[in-house]
Chain A
Amino acid sequence: MTPSTRRGLNASHLVGWVPLLFILVWAVLPLARLGWEGWLQVQDMGWSLLWQPWQDAYLRGRVLWSVAQASASTGLALVLGVPIGWVLVRWHFWGRQWVVRALMLPFVIPTLVAALAVMALWGSWFEQGPVLLILGNLFFNLCLIVRGAMGGFDSVSASRLAAARSLGATPWRAFWRLEWPTAKPAVWAAACLVFLYCLSGFGLALLLGGQAWATAEVEIYTRVAHDLDLPIASVLALWMLLISGLVVAVYARLSLSRVERLRGDRVPVRMARWGNGAWSVGLSLLVLLALNFGPLAALLVRALQASPAAWQHAWGDEAWLALGNTLRFTVLGVSLAAVLGAMHGWAARASGWWRAMGMAPLVTSPVMIAFGLLLLWPQWLDQLWVLVCAYALLAIPLVAAPVAQAVQQVSPRWVDAARTLGATPWRAFWRVVWPQVIPSWRRGLAFAAATMVGEFAVTLLLSRPEWLTLSTYIYQLLGRPGALNAQAAWVMSASLMALSLLVFTLLDVRSNTKPESDARSK
């Protein structure tokens, strides 16, 4: 979008500075403060400290393993997720809508419960170790690739595909030479996100991998929270930030690539029948069941097996408080992220740098932020608005990215037309650009809501009992022995799942595939 008038340019930059300042204050500043504290502690060691993670064999191992398991998980997710995404977009089958809606459920499950669920399903085949860890990573992140692939394949033009086929390309060649290149940017962008999540993985690495296979993030957490060894932690965090930063740069570059807006030219969805698509659909569902839905099903089974006494124990007063809080914080956090994310998405529509900066909350270590905040503003850490800001911080990248993409796709001529018809820059945005962005914005909000409902890293800050959320409640249940508590944890996890499904359904009312492509044809 070309800048219209000088005035317009300034306004849009101003819009971008608000969320950027927010990110600076809540993510960058605490990190810097903690790093400064660490620097003060080792002034005499000087710059040689920077190379410590590479000189010390243990730390080096951690960093290399973090990268290795993230790469392996991402690779596997790609190999499995891309075909599944293609199948979900091209074939229709009974229950497809629900499969798509339920895809994001793993995000909501607290890490400990997820680990238990994965173990419940796979524990008898695999020992605690790298394989189980990668299975856990796939559980959380496969859905991201699938959704990215769905979006990518959804934007393939039917007429182009027809042209390719008529030019002599077999279905496979047409896929490889036309469909895949069209979908590539979306898929690689999703892959970057998956890599970042796996790299900064923390709870899962410990639970499923064990101490021997812990990631660098675990090391950072241990050193900050338990050892107060700030120098090494800061240096390690810095290196991890650099590695993540590289991936973020790639992601930002990829997300800038323009995806053509299809106008009624979508490839129509076909009904899967025996002998015609049934195998693809069946295989995809099998993989999804094993990796994505299987652990969820195991969780559900355990919850349903719980006795009525356990249900009663679970749904006591505290559970209702937790439910109320989860809803309250999610609504507040999503509202704030909705505004800030939209603002950032608008500002980042044409700039890779802005997009990269918007990703900052995803690559900074939550424990570093929490302790940095403790050093900066200890008197405010038990205030509600700080908690909401922390929630919103984590969600801004999830809202900003799809918004930026959507804004970029709106034809600049529309804004010109609106301006010459008498609309001020703001009115032109509100009446012409924003309606086109809303579907992407809602998708981002659904993703953000999912993350917040299962969020508990925020409680690394100071938490108050009256702020009990569903996930902290589950952790509280698992902090005490007793069969009632164990069963109650399963019950609450299943309830959490149900709640999130409701939230998704409400927010993502028109599911990922647009109505036009729901038109079935042979």
Chain B
Amino acid sequence: MQQLKPFQQLLVCATLLFMGSVSAAAELRVVTHASFDLPKPLIERFEQESGVSLRVVKAGDTGEMVNKLILSKGSPIGDVVYGIDNSLLGRARSAGILDALPASLRGLPVAEGMGAEGIALSGAQDWLPIDWGYVTLNADKAWFAKHSMDLPKTLDDLAKAEYAKLLVVQNPATSSPGMAFLLATASAKGESVWDWWAQLRQGGVKVANSWSDAYYKDFSLNGGDRPLVVSYASSPAAEVFYSDPKKVESPTANVFLPGGVFLQVEGVARLKGGQQPEAAAQFMRFMRSVEVQQALQTTMWMWPVQPDVAMDPVMSHAGKLPPVAAQAAMGVDDIAASAEAWRRRFAQVVLR
């Protein structure tokens, strides 16, 4: 008899809990990747001012997100997508999932620091850049000090046995920073890049599955055995922001090797077949607003695309950023054409 009661209680509980999932009002569905994060007050203000409620749908890693959009393009899972970057834009375009930008949002100016590449990207008709950053190497300063080693200066240095065994990279097939690093090295070295990667493999480079694996398991800063990791240029700044106890200097440093830096620009776009075109345009404008551009520095750890937006002081811990022009850049279509082949080649050369 007593066993009936808990069951009935459970049933009542379940029904009540279930009810907390009904909504009304016009909804804008935003598809993003797992790292999307904006302060709640900003979003609430947007919802109030625009009159639409925002429904964010996180679809995993950037690559996964694009694949899910491609698979479901017949019946799109969102109206607008944030997080497609220049390495995946070509793929998105050839799959035909993006809709044209409203005229008012085309050709908006971008920050000076993004250079020629940034300007080229800002001319897209179907995609609006929102933030940018670099994928590069991070080094554990304490480790290098303790072992009295110099940081590597070029990619060829990196391939030497003494440095290769200190490096952990991510698998380009499963990780977007991994892919970015591969693209950077490939566009710098051309055909000989595969010999270079083979050398790295022989030298003992470690390949992790995702950024989290590499950074939290293998990076020596967090107890691993590799003091060099492929990460973001903003990571040293984040290390200071999230330091405990509070640090004034970052424990990691950026290592900008020529050919080992990838300019990553993320943007927002309308999805073909999506609803709410007006609200979508409003959202895109919102993402380019000064408040959001300011806030995303310390929530998504990217630099703002909008010119004349003040840089958050903590970002100075990233050190001096290399001039973008110095990096050999790959066009969006070139990336799309080679990405798959290079992923397979990487698996062959480095993993098997």
Contact = CB atoms under 8 A, between A and B. Distances in A.
Interface stretch (B55-63, B141-149, B329-337): B55-63
B248 interface: no
A482 B351 contact: no
A331 B58 contact: no
A459 B252 CA distance: 32
Interface string B15-31: 00110110000000100
Nearest to B66: A228
B57 A463 contact: yes
Contact of A462 (B21, B77, B216): B77
B294 interface: no
Given A211-B209, A480-B301, A487 B217 contact: no
A29 interface: no
Nearest to A306: B244
A470 to B, nearest CB: 16
Interface stretch (B68-76, B105-113, B182-190, B257-265): B68-76
Given A207-B217, A226-B64, A371 B71 contact: yes
Nearest to B235: A481
Contacts of B18: 332, 384-385, 388
B212 interface: yes
A116 B57 contact: no
A482 B314 CA distance: 13
Interface in B188-229: 206-209, 211-213, 215-217, 222-223
Contact of B351 (A211, A335, A484, A489): A211
Contacts, number: 152
Contact of B217 (A115, A307, A332, A462): A115
A119 interface: yes
A335 B14 contact: yes
A301 interface: no
B245 A307 contact: yes
B311 interface: no
A45 interface: no
Nearest to A367: B64
Interface in A189-247: 206-207, 210-212, 222, 225-228
A285 interface: no
Contacts of A483: 239, 242-244
B3 A435 contact: yes
29 contacts: A112-B213, A116-B217, A119-B223, A128-B206, A211-B171, A211-B208, A225-B60, A225-B63, A225-B174, A226-B61, A307-B245, A310-B244, A331-B14, A334-B10, A335-B11, A335-B13, A335-B14, A371-B68, A374-B68, A374-B71, A384-B18, A384-B21, A463-B58, A478-B216, A480-B242, A480-B301, A481-B252, A485-B242, A486-B216
* A-B interface, 5 closest residue pairs, ranked by CB to CB distance from nearest: A482-B242, A378-B72, A484-B242, A384-B21, A335-B14
